[in-house]
Amino acid sequence: MDDIMLTFYCAAAEADALALLLRGETGLPVHVREEVVHGHDFGDALIQEQVLGTLRRAAVVVEVQRAKGDALVRTVAAMRRAQPVRWVMTPVLARGRIT
């Protein structure tokens, strides 16, 4: 199995555009979830978020073949957006469905 879970962390307001871009590029299901990060470990947060110690963002996730991961990161980097996007590639070691 040579699949990865590719997660992009972006501003909540840009999640839908990012999800549509990834869906168009891959044709695969794209998952979006809202997140709140507590703490001061994010240098790219807005001033208000740094003062409150809370960052509201979205995680946009797609599972793809490893060979396509770098191209998707480049596609997102070229996307017009207002805020930074962080990303993480995680290998998929196993998957299944429990009924």
pLDDT tens digits for 59-97?
Answer: 999 999 999 999 999 999 999 999 889 999 999 999 999
DSSP state for residue 94 in the 8-state scheme: -
CATH classification number, 3-91, choose in 2.40.160.40, 3.30.70.120, 3.90.340.10, 3.40.190.10 = 3.30.70.120
Exposure letters 50-68 (e unless 16+ CB within 10 A, then b): eeeeebebbbbbbbbeeeb
| pLDDT at residue 43, as a whole number | 64
Residue 34 neighbours by CB distance under 10 Å: 10
**Domain residue limits, the chain:** 3-91
Mean pLDDT of the chain: 89
pTM over 0.95: no
Six-digit token pair at 56? 């509201």
Sort residue 53 into left (φ over 0), alpha (ψ -120 to 50) or beta: left
Amino acid identity at 91: P
